[in-house]
Structure 1
Amino acid sequence: MRAVFLDKKTFHKTIALDEISAQFDSFTCFDVTAEHEIITRCQDADVVLTNKVVFDKKTLEQLPKLKLICITATGVNNVDIAAANALGITVTNAKAYAKGSVAQYVFAQLLEYFNQTSHHNANTAKGLWQQSDTFCYLGNTIYELADKTIGIIGYGDLGQSVAQIATAFNMKVMVAERPSAVSIRSQRYAFDEVIKQADIITLHCPQTPETEQLFNRQIFSNMQTHAVLVNTARGALINNDDLIDALNNNDIGYAILDVLDQEPPRSDHPLLTAELTNLKITAHIAWASMEAQQRLIAIVASNISSFFSGGKLNQVT
Structure 2
Amino acid sequence: MGNYKIVFLDKETLSPETVLRTPNFPHEIKVYQSTHESEASERIADAEIVIVNKVPLGKAAIEGAKNLKLIAVAATGYDRIDIESCKARNVTVSNIRDYAKNTVPEHTFALILALRRSIIPYRQSVLDSRWQDAAQFCYFDYPIHDLANATLGVIGDGVLGKSVARLGEAFGMNVLFSSYKGVQGMGPLYTPFEEVLRQSDIITLHCPLIPSTRNLLDQHEFSIMEKRPLIINAARGGLVNEEALGWALEEGLVSGAGFDVVTEEPPARDHLMMTLAKRHNVILTPHVAWASQEAVQSLADQLIDNIEAFYHGEARNVVV
Give the TM-score band, short-chain normalised: over 0.9
Partner SS, residue 18 of structure 1:
coil
For structure 1, the residue ranges without an aligned partner over 5 or more in a row are: none
Q: What is aligned with 2:106? A: 104
Q: Contact 2:121–2:280 (CA<8 Å) still a contact in 1?
A: no
User: Quick one: which of 157, 165, 187 aligns to 1:185?
Assistant: 187
Is the aligned partner of 1:299 residue 2:302?
A: yes
Please give the residue correspondences for 1:164-313 in structure 2 after superposition, counting only pairs within 5 Å. Answer: 164-274=166-276, 275-313=278-316
Task: Give the Cα separation in 2 of the matches to 1:225 and 1:133.
Answer: 34
Distance 1:176 1:13, change over 3 A: same
Name the aligned partner's letter for residue 71 of structure 1: V
Q: What is aligned with 2:139? A: 138
Task: Give the Cα separation in 1 of the matches to 2:53 and 2:134.
Answer: 52
Using the TM superposition, give the Cα deviation of residue 65 of structure 1 relative to its aligned residue in structure 2, in angstroms: 0.5
Q: What is aligned with 2:84? A: 82
Q: Contact 1:98–1:287 (CA<8 Å) still a contact in 2?
A: yes
Q: Report how many residues are paired.
A: 315
Task: Give the Cα separation in 1 of the matches to 2:118 and 2:281.
Answer: 13
Deviations 1:57-101 (A, max 9, x none): 122111110100011111110001121011010001111101211
Deviations 1:86-126 (A, max 9, x none): 10100011111012111111111111112223444455556
Using the TM superposition, give the Cα deviation of residue 230 of structure 1 relative to its aligned residue in structure 2, in angstroms: 0.4
Normalised by the length of structure 2, the TM-score is: 0.93
Distance 1:307 1:186, change over 3 A: farther
Q: What is aligned with 1:71? A: 73
Deviations 1:172-208 (A, max 9, x none): 0001111122312231111111111011000000011
Using the TM superposition, give the Cα deviation of residue 24 of structure 1 relative to its aligned residue in structure 2, in angstroms: 4.7
Q: What is aligned with 2:150? A: 148
Name the aligned partner's letter for residue 238 of structure 2: A
Percentage of matched positions with identical amino acids: 35
Q: 267-276 or 139-148, which moves further after superposition?
A: 267-276
Distance 1:128 1:199, change over 3 A: same
Task: Give the Cα separation in 2 of the matches to 1:171 and 1:269.
Answer: 34
Name the aligned partner's letter for residue 144 of structure 1: D
Using the TM superposition, give the Cα deviation of residue 270 of structure 1 relative to its aligned residue in structure 2, in angstroms: 2.1
Distance 1:123 1:277, change over 3 A: closer
Task: Give the Cα separation in 2 of the matches to 1:271 and 1:313.
Answer: 38
Q: Contact 1:247–1:276 (CA<8 Å) still a contact in 2?
A: no
Task: Give the Cα separation in 1 of the matches to 2:263 and 2:123.
Answer: 33
Partner SS, residue 272 of structure 1:
helix
Deviations 1:240-284 (A, max 9, x none): 211111111112111111111111222222222345443321110
Distance 1:127 1:244, change over 3 A: closer
Is the aligned partner of 1:25 residue 2:27?
A: yes
Deviations 1:203-238 (A, max 9, x none): 000011100111100001011352100011111111
Using the TM superposition, give the Cα deviation of residue 32 of structure 1 relative to its aligned residue in structure 2, in angstroms: 0.7
For structure 2, the residue ranges without an aligned partner over 5 or more in a row are: none
Q: What is aligned with 1:59? A: 61
